[in-house]
Amino acid sequence: MFRLLLLALSCLESPVFMASVSVSRSKPVGIVGGHRTPPGRWPWQVSLRTYSYEASSWVHICGGSIIHPRWILTAAHCIQSQDADPAVYRVQVGEVYLYKEQELLNISRIIIHPDYNDVIKRFDVALMQLTALLVTSTRVSPVSLPKDSSTFDSTDQCWLAGWGNLLQHVPLQPPYQLYEVKTPILDNKSCKRAYRKKTSDERKAVAIFEDMLCAGTSGRGPCFGDSGGPLVCWKSNKWIQVGVVSMGTDCSNDLPSVFSRVRSSLAWIHQHIQ
């Protein structure tokens, strides 16, 4: 039976993954299928936190990216509601380990894409404004956004990073080092076909819209806790963020994962960030 498990769940459940340190015997093999990331390789990668009373700490719920010294891009489903109080979030920047003694940054404003649809996950993107400008360095710097005209396909070198589960039921273990995986982009047709084929029940079919982008192959891709993180591709001598982790069926990545296509939200992003 095909069941749609949104990576969105990660958001709600990763504090649980955090609090219950269930030691797994499985060998860690990935973000899924990836490896540990050295410091400074993805200087825009951030960890989004909310306070857990159970853990008495600010726990990781989602990934995100620095797109401007004052702004973070993440997935709308990580925030849930436009009315969300910015004070209940914190952001960690410039670090490959979670939960080091490090000052977390505050948020002053949250903007969810006006066309975000919670059910079918269209325009699953949100902006968070930091209370203070970031000081950029080799470990903290914004990622480039694509141009309106740029396209990306399976020939591009694209990577995903995150602090999500290594396998469906295997949370990241201390010291919680960031993982990365090379993730090929899939063309729209193949992605739609893959989802149609897997879903015999039309009513449960996941619709892939123009504002979405598919990437990942079997055993390589995002899992719970990676939501909101950036998919970046190397083009014109720089890293460009093409997607935001949105949803998937499970962490086996038998089906490609679905990302919000950054290009589709460019006008909205530029409207808020000059």
The Cα–Cα gap between 184 and 104 comes to: 32
CB 70 within 8 A of CB 134: yes
Map residue 228 onto helix, strand or coil. coil
Closest listed residue to residue 49, CA positions, set 32, 20, 74: 74
Residue 103 found at the interface with ligand NAG (CB under 6 A): yes
CB 182 within 8 A of CB 157: yes
Closer CB to ligand NAG, residue 131 or residue 271? Answer: 131
- Is 124 labeled as catalytic in the residue annotation? yes
Total site size for ligand NAG, rule CB under 6 A: 9
Q: Which residue has the tokens 């295997």?
A: 170
The Cα–Cα gap between 150 and 241 comes to: 11
CB 128 within 8 A of CB 134: no
> The tokens of 237 are what?
């001598």
6: buried, middle or exposed (CB in 10 Å: 19+, 13-18, 0-12)?
Answer: buried
Site stretch for ligand NAG (CB under 6 A), options 10-18, 78-86, 98-106, 233-241: 98-106
* Shortest Å distance, C-beta 45 to ligand NAG: 19
- Is 77 labeled as catalytic in the residue annotation? yes
Binding residue (CB under 6 A) for ligand NAG from 117, 137, 153, 169: 153
Among 65, 227, 260, 265, the active-site one is 227
Q: Distances in Å between the alpha carbon of 46 and those of 90, 150, 272?
A: 10, 25, 20
Among 124, 211, 226, 264, the active-site one is 124
Per-residue binding letters, 104-143, with ligand NAG (x by CB under 6 A): -xx------------------------x------------
Closer CB to ligand NAG, residue 32 or residue 91? Answer: 91
Q: What is the DSSP string of 3-27?
A: ----THHHHHHHHHHHHS-----SP
Closer CB to ligand NAG, residue 21 or residue 132? Answer: 132
Site stretch for ligand NAG (CB under 6 A), options 41-49, 103-111, 155-163, 169-177: 103-111
Q: Which residue has the tokens 């591709």?
A: 233
Q: What is the DSSP string of 221-253?
A: S--TT-TTPEEEEEETTEEEEEEEEEE-S-TT-
Per-residue binding letters, 9-48, with ligand NAG (x by CB under 6 A): ----------------------------------------
* Shortest Å distance, C-beta 200 to ligand NAG: 25
Site stretch for ligand NAG (CB under 6 A), options 54-62, 102-110, 232-240, 243-251: 102-110
The Cα–Cα gap between 262 and 31 comes to: 21
Residue 210 found at the interface with ligand NAG (CB under 6 A): yes
Residue 151 found at the interface with ligand NAG (CB under 6 A): yes
Which residues of this chain interact with ligand NAG, rule CB under 6 A?
103, 105-106, 131, 151, 153, 187-188, 210
Give catalytic residue positions: 77, 124, 227
